[in-house]
Amino acid sequence: MDDTTEISARLAEHIRAEIAAAGGLLPFDRFMDLALYAPGLGYYVAGAVKLGRDGDFVTAPEISPLFGRCLATQCAEVLDRIGGGDLLELGAGTGTLAVEVLRALEHADALPERYLILEPSPDLQERQQTLIQERIPHLEGRCAWLTRLPSKLRGVVLANEVLDAMPVHRFRIRNDGGIDEICVAERAGALVEVAAPVRSPGLVDAVAALHAEGFAHDPSYTSEINLRLPLWLKALGLALDRGLILLVDYGYPRPAYYQPDRTMGTLMCHLRHQAHGDPYTHIGLQDITAHVDFTAVAEAGVAAGLDLAGFTTQANFLIGCGIDRLLSESNEPFELTLGAKQLLLPTAMGERFKVLGLTTGVDEPLRGFSIRDLSDRL
């Protein structure tokens, strides 16, 4: 047994023990939490390569430095308006975005006071530190890793593909119109899915709210919901004194998320660049993810006292931040064009990925949302 197989076996054992302790049924969100984040064993916290060509999936900062340069343009605008401050990146992956944003801000003479990173994965934290030491050693002193949110932050919070990695609750509509919760059970040593009476607090009310808006009614309709989002945004809202929270991810406004023909929700697994729908294989060795309901993000942000600054596609956002100018100014335009296409094309990441901004104390419009603000679709 190699190291990764052994970790996977230990994680499966750990999950089976939790299932037994929970009386035989574990709500899906807890399973996802353990599969991704169980200390020392979960996908994000143990040694799996995860991101990049040798890993399981590639994210925008890894595809092209233009992504970070565009985000830096948006950060510079906000930092300028609020008289300077810090950047805080949540879930910084390999550290590539941090490197590109800091390089671009240095070039624009607009460095933040500090670049803070909150990263729950010790393994990724180490990779981020190494990359920053290698690529921008002279800026290392500005970088600091946090174990929890700061109590008072002025500046910009960045989170690329973090929301999709948050554990979700799953539900299924019964033939009688009632709601079941998708739980995980053990059968002959294997992990299997069971639809059972709801046991997670808040899930019935959350699905009833979807019903009241006309969504998720049909028998067998199965989907997911991120019940942790309101508390997460409340904590961010409390931490942010003045500035912007920029959330980039794949997802939809609610009407598209819960459209009638999306009968199995959006849960997906990534293993070695293959996407599939079975979260109960390769436990701890594959990513498990769900799309983001951006209407829920906007609602939770506003409930947390933040202003919705804009919502748009990744392509519109990058164009608003001047990706074409950055491309033409670059001395490696041909190398960068390929990556720019992937970031922008509707058939690649341009439309599937969205950007949502939440602000406090920043009243003027933001350039990232200047091309086309789609907030009215939320």
Ligand X SMILES: C[S@@+](CC[C@H](N)C(=O)[O-])C[C@H]1O[C@@H](n2cnc3c(N)ncnc32)[C@H](O)[C@@H]1O
Q: Which residue is nearest to ligand X (CB)?
A: 91
CA distances from 350 to 181, 277, 366 (A): 34, 23, 19
Nearest approach, Cβ of residue 230 and ligand X (Å): 13
Residues 81-120 interacting with ligand X (rule: CB under 6 A): 90-93, 118-120
| 132 contributes a contact to ligand X by CB under 6 A | no
The neighbour count for residue 37, using CB atoms within 10 Å, is: 18
Q: What are phi and psi of 247, to 5 degrees?
A: -115, 120
Residue type, 322: G
Given the complex with ligand X, which of 120 and 195 has the nearer CB atom? 120
Of the candidates 167, 75, 61, the one whose C-alpha atom is nearest the C-alpha of residue 113 is: 75
Q: For the CB of residue 158, give the shortest distance to ligand X in the complex, in Å.
A: 8
In terms of CB distance, is 120 or 150 closer to ligand X?
Answer: 120
Residues 166-195 that bind ligand X (CB under 6 A): 166
Q: Does 128 bind ligand X (CB under 6 A)?
A: no
Total residues binding ligand X (CB under 6 A): 18
Q: CA 283, 91, 227, 207: dihedral to nearest 10 degrees? A: -80
Write phi, then psi, for 41 (nearest 5 degrees). Answer: -125, -30
The type of residue at 19 is I
Q: Does 266 bind ligand X (CB under 6 A)?
A: no
Comparing CB distances to ligand X, the nearer of 35 and 166 is 166
Per-residue b or e along 62-96, where b marks 16 or more CB atoms closer than 10 Å to that residue's CB: bbbbbbbbbbbbbbbbbbebbeebbbbbbbbbbbb
Q: 91 vs 253, which CB is nearer to ligand X?
A: 91
- Figure out which of the listed residues 162, 173, 245, 285 binds ligand X, where binding follows CB under 6 A: 162
Q: Verify binding: residue 249, ligand X, rule CB under 6 A.
A: no
Site string for ligand X, 15-54 (x = CB under 6 A): -----------------------------x------x---
Residue among 119 and 180 whose Cβ is closer to ligand X: 119
DSSP code for 202: T
- If the CB atoms of residues 61 and 251 are measured against ligand X, the closer one turns out to be 61
CB-CB neighbours of 200 under 10 Å: 18
Residue 311 interacts with ligand X (CB under 6 A)?
A: no
Asked whether position 294 contacts ligand X by CB under 6 A, the answer is no
Q: Which is nearer to ligand X, 198 or 318 (CB)?
A: 318
Q: The tokens of 258 are what?
A: 């819960």
CB 277 within 8 A of CB 267: yes
**Closest distance between ligand X and the C-beta of residue 61, in Å?**
5
* One of 27, 42, 55, 61 touching ligand X (CB under 6 A): 61
For the chain, where are the E strands, in sequence order? Answer: 26-27, 86-90, 115-118, 143-146, 153-160, 169-173, 179-187, 190-197, 222-225, 240-252, 268-271, 274-276, 287-289, 292-293, 307-313, 353-360
CB of 90 to ligand X, least distance (A): 4
Dump strand ranges (E) for 258-352.
Answer: 268-271, 274-276, 287-289, 292-293, 307-313
Q: Which is nearer to ligand X, 207 or 248 (CB)?
A: 248
Residue span 142-161 as binding mask against ligand X, x where in contact by CB under 6 A, dash where not: ------------------xx
Q: Does 124 bind ligand X (CB under 6 A)?
A: yes
Give the count of alpha carbons within 13 A of 176, CB side only: 4
Give min distance, CB of 48 to ligand X, in A.
11
- Quick check: 71 binds ligand X (CB under 6 A)? no
Does residue number 163 form part of the binding site for ligand X (CB under 6 A)? no
Shortest distance in whole angstroms from residue 310 CB to ligand X: 20
- The amino acid sitting at 131 is L
The contact set with ligand X (CB under 6 A) reads 44, 51, 59, 61, 90-93, 118-121, 124, 160-162, 165-166
